[in-house]
Amino acid sequence: MNSIRERLVLKALNLTGLPDLSGLGATGARRWLLVAVCLIVGLAAGALAAATSPLLALALPVALVGGLVLLSELQMSLLALIGVAYLLPSAAIPLRLGFNPTLLDVVLLAFFFVWLVRLATDPAEGLSGGLLDGLVLVFIGLACTSFLLSTGVTQDILRRFAEIILVLFFYFGVVNTVHTRQLLERLVAAIILAAAAAAVIGLVLYFLPHDLANRLLNTLRILNYPTGWVLRFINNDQALAQRAIATSVDPNVLGGVLAMAAALTTGQLFSPRPVLRRAILLPAWGVMLLCLLLTYSRGSWIGLAAGLLFIATLKERRLWVLFLALGVAVLFLPQAQAFLAHLSTGVQMQDRATQMRLGEYKDAFKLIAQFPWFGIGFAAAPVIDLYRGVSSVYLLIAEEMGLLGLGTYLAIMAVFFWQGLRGLGRLADAGLKSILIGLLAAVLSALVAGVLDHHFLDINFPHVAALFWLNLGLGVATLRVAGSCQQIWRAD
């Protein structure tokens, strides 16, 4: 079989006009082909370096190798997406094509390319169907309808909307490709490790001198990251506490993705069969909590608290005591005092950020009242005295997609938790049960945090939306993996 394949390759090469290498044998042909490819790549890289910059020429072969890896199998694209979303969420490739495609765009497109090729060529591949899948399709349809009703759409808004649609379809990709327990556990482990790495980066940058940390972050300008003074402080006042951002640019964005990962990790800490050793899980969990504390993101902490209480209630009520003890211990950290003061001013509606939020809510209700059904779309508001944008994912959806969009979104979440909780009651496998509890807690953390934050379905932060729908998709995949292994379900 190999010899036949090699002869076919050599004949194909001959058809392209290359010299006949069949006399050299397969080994000789490969050697000459390798030399030719190296010469072509070298000449192309040299020409690119002369026309642009040596750094871009150096990045070309790296990008080619990375692209081949992404196209090798779906698992690599999924792992790459997790890594990009946590470690380089705002990175873009400086191609100067009128826009710079982000690394997230590249990974998503590679994932869909491989998946669609598999669907077209492998009879064993198929698409699942169910109530939740149908609701997600309706939500996508409503999003497209609202976009068509938008006014003042720019090229940038079109690109960002396309990214969000890709992210929503990514849910179907996760559900229809994560078929095995091994892949499920590998992806959960990847989320935990990537989030821990992001937390470590955030802590290192936080404790470095401000000037040095700022210079390090400015080195990311080649990947289209913002430049200048990029460190963040409470109320943008350098006299107040610094906020951890890692490579996420925004502390609330970092807080949101860490809250989801910390909830997922908590489920693994108390699992009889964790996806990683507890010697890895415990430090990872610790750095996530510490970095989350230093983001001073009130919504993220409230969301994580809801996720932890969810786990304590469902898995082991004695965990309430442990979480209470942990909360008391955290209070002794110096940074905790500043966070509690920050939280207190928010609850009392005394700080500037909270007052601005209240103003946003008031304007959002006015906008929703004027465009109640399909919203204003994803561009600028069609009225002069109002604007699109509010610090709540629910009000943002209602602004952009109307009450129909918000109602569908809430229905998706209700069905997801109904199916998840129903599945938990039937699962006998403790390992899968812990994974499902963690994923439910991660989604719940985002839903609660979304009351005060808008990043979980904002066209400006597609990586946060991708991680949210990844967790939701993995939750559904867990139920389907369990359903394919009848022995792990309790008999009714």
Per-residue pLDDT of 329-374, as tens digits, reads 666 766 666 666 656 665 656 666 667 777 788 888 999 999 999 9
| The pLDDT value given to residue 426 | 86
- For the chain, what is the mean pLDDT? 83
Q: Could you give the count of Cα atoms lying within 13 Å of 32 in the half-sphere of its Cβ?
A: 13
Residue 221, pLDDT above cutoff 70: yes
Rounded Cα distance between 364 and 379, Å, is 15
Residue 55, pLDDT above cutoff 60: no
Q: Average of pLDDT values for 394-409?
A: 97
Q: Classify 451 as helix, strand or coil.
A: coil
Q: Return the residue matching tokens 């509890």.
A: 437
Which amino acid type is present at position 79? L
Alpha helix ranges (H) inside 18-154: 25-51, 54-70, 74-87, 103-121, 131-148
Q: Classify 55 as helix, strand or coil.
A: helix
Residue 456, pLDDT above cutoff 60: yes
CB 466 within 8 Å of CB 472 = no
Residue 304, pLDDT above cutoff 80: yes
Q: Average of pLDDT values for 163-188?
A: 95
18 or 168, which is more confident: 168
User: DSSP of 14-46, one letter per residue?
Assistant: HHTTPPP-GGGHHHHHHHHHHHHHHHHHHHHHH
Residue 240, pLDDT above cutoff 80: yes
DSSP state of 223: G
Q: Which of 32-36, 83-87, 288-292, 416-420 has the lowest mean pLDDT?
A: 32-36
Residue 190, pLDDT above cutoff 80: yes
444 or 47, which is more confident: 444
CB 94 within 8 Å of CB 100 = yes
DSSP state of 232: E
Rounded Cα distance between 33 and 179, Å, is 38
- What residues pair up with 243 in beta bridges, in sequence order? 232
| The pLDDT value given to residue 384 | 80
φ and ψ at 243, to 5 degrees?
-115, 130
Alpha helix ranges (H) inside 296-390: 298-314, 319-330, 334-347, 352-370
Residue 415, pLDDT above cutoff 80: yes
CB 67 within 8 Å of CB 449 = no
Dmax over CA atoms of the chain, in Å, equals: 84
Q: Average of pLDDT values for 88-95?
A: 87
Q: Average of pLDDT values for 185-194?
A: 97
Taking the CB of residue 287, how many other CB atoms lie within 10 A of it? 20
Rounded Cα distance between 135 and 409, Å, is 8
Residue-wise pLDDT for 244-263, tens only, equals 999 999 999 999 999 999 99
Residues 6+ apart with CB under 8 A from 93: 63, 100, 101, 102, 103, 106, 223
pLDDT level of residue 48 (50, 70, 90 thresholds) = very low
Question: pTM (2 decimals)?
Answer: 0.85
Q: Average of pLDDT values for 295-311?
A: 92
Query: Can you give the C-alpha Rg of the chain in angstroms?
Result: 25
Rounded Cα distance between 17 and 32, Å, is 15
Q: Average of pLDDT values for 101-120?
A: 89
Q: Which of 71-85, 118-132, 135-149 has the lowest mean pLDDT?
A: 118-132
Crossing angle (nearest 10°) for helices 278-295 and 251-269: 150
List the domain boundaries for the chain: 27-119, 130-488
Q: Average of pLDDT values for 309-328?
A: 78
Residue 201, pLDDT above cutoff 80: yes
